[in-house]
Amino acid sequence: MRSLAVVGGGVIGLAIAARAADQGWVVTVHDPAPARGASWVAGGMLAPLSESWPGEDAVLGFGAAALERWPGFARWLGRDDLFTATTTLTVALDTADIADLRTVADWVGERGHELRLLNRAEIRAVAPGLARAVRAGLLSLAEPAVDNRALVGALLAAAVKSGVRYAEVVHDLADVTADQVVLAAGAASAELWPGLPVRPVKGEILRLRTRPGVARPPAQVLRARVHGRPVYLVPRADGLVVGATQYESGNDTAVTVGGVRDLIADAETLLPTLGEYELAEVSAGLRPMTPDNLPLLGRVSDRVVVATGHGRNGVLTTPLTADAVLAALAGETLEVARCADPHRFEPGGRL
């Protein structure tokens, strides 16, 4: 039987491992703490449309293709309860942000996706608890959110059910004896395959819990810019996830006072009742970023396939990444993932 080593046990690595085991591979995941890392510190937004911007056609196409795969992926896991919101609302507080919402709506609409512009009154009807300072909104009925921690739990269970085994951390891919290797180590991938254009970017998040007598949070994912800083509020069964800062700080995962202060202040600007919630957790993770905000997916040698560089969209792109990697292991290229060719930054890259 064919053997496969998956180096990295986040949502990407676990999904690939479980799917490959289902297809007959003998799979071992190498990770000192599976289901932790950046996958544990995530909002779980599935919002490729709302987060798009003119000129990023490949990013939008890749993200939209990943979003289309999510219902089937959840069914494969047997966990439709992973979803914590069914819609995404991006709101604007000033004239410049309103203009940006219109720009995104028009550009995305030209590419066949629908985003609906809302005025003040319509926002109040959809999300009555928002601050009066919110002036306009962009509603996406196609963009849900999932509970990232429930997702990694479901993937761990699927991997166990499929017979996936776990082993020690890998320091050199040459030490791995499997027939094939998938490198899905997130921000650490470049340490194991030097030259990969992926770098760590720190993101801090807060987890807030509701308390008796406190108003329930909005049912939608909320996104905005406050004082030029992006902020999002993602529903959970017991409250909200608030995120996320973004720092180019190497491998530093310390949570900073300034980061927590800004997240709380920006979130309260959108949702004034937030100050009554319990501050249950603060944490930080390292997003694996690439120069063009697309992942690196594909074969880099006869034996090694990479699956890294997912940035802020690891949860969103998990189903499509698993499909692309399984195709690469079979000697094929998934057409919709061609834009993520890991050789595209090389002179004479394959794109």
Q: Using one digit for the tens of pLDDT, what is the confidence trace for 269-302?
A: 999 999 999 999 999 999 999 999 999 999 999 9
CA 187 to CA 287: how far, in whole Å?
6
Name the CATH topology of 1-86+145-198+291-351.
Answer: FAD/NAD(P)-binding domain (3.50.50)
**Cβ atoms < 10 Å from Cβ of 169:** 13
Q: Is 5 helix (H, G, I), strand (E, B) or coil?
A: strand
Q: Is the pLDDT of residue 346 over 90?
A: no
- Residue 231 is predicted with a pLDDT of 97
43's tokens: 């909002």
Outline which parts of the chain fall under CATH 3.50.50.60. 1-86+145-198+291-351
Q: Using one digit for the tens of pLDDT, what is the confidence trace for 310-328?
A: 999 999 999 999 999 999 9
- Residue 250 is predicted with a pLDDT of 86
pLDDT-derived band at 168 (thresholds 50, 70, 90) equals confident
Torsions phi, psi for 56 (to 5 deg): -95, 55
Q: Using one digit for the tens of pLDDT, what is the confidence trace for 65-80?
A: 999 999 999 999 998 8
Distance between first and last Cα of the chain: 34
Residues sharing a CB contact under 8 Å with residue 163, sequence separation 6 or more, in sequence order: 21, 26, 27
CA 200 to CA 274: how far, in whole Å?
30
Q: Is the pLDDT of residue 41 over 80?
A: yes
User: With contact defined as beta carbons under 8 Å apart, do 251 and 286 qualify?
Assistant: yes
Q: Return the CATH number of 87-144+200-289, one of 3.40.50.1700, 1.10.1060.10, 3.60.10.10, 3.30.9.10.
A: 3.30.9.10
- Residue 351 is predicted with a pLDDT of 46
- Residue 350 is predicted with a pLDDT of 54
CA 64 to CA 47: how far, in whole Å?
9
Q: What is the dihedral of CA 34, 38, 43, 49, to 10 degrees?
A: -110
Q: Which among 147, 139, 146 has a CA at the least distance from the CA of 108?
A: 139
Q: Using one digit for the tens of pLDDT, what is the confidence trace for 210-259?
A: 999 998 889 999 999 999 999 999 999 999 999 999 999 889 999 999 99
CA 9 to CA 15: how far, in whole Å?
9
Choice among 20-24, 165-169, 205-209, 340-344 with the minimum mean pLDDT: 165-169
Residues sharing a CB contact under 8 Å with residue 97, sequence separation 6 or more, in sequence order: 136, 224, 225
Q: Which among 330, 326, 303 has a CA at the least distance from the CA of 193?
A: 303
- Residue 222 is predicted with a pLDDT of 97
- Residue 349 is predicted with a pLDDT of 61
pLDDT-derived band at 120 (thresholds 50, 70, 90) equals very high
CA 23 to CA 216: how far, in whole Å?
43
Average pLDDT, integer, range 6-10: 97
Outline which parts of the chain fall under CATH 3.30.9.10. 87-144+200-289
Strand order in the sheet with 239-243: 116-118, 136-140, 88-92, 221-226, 229-236, 239-243, 199-209, 278-289
Q: Is the pLDDT of residue 117 over 50?
A: yes
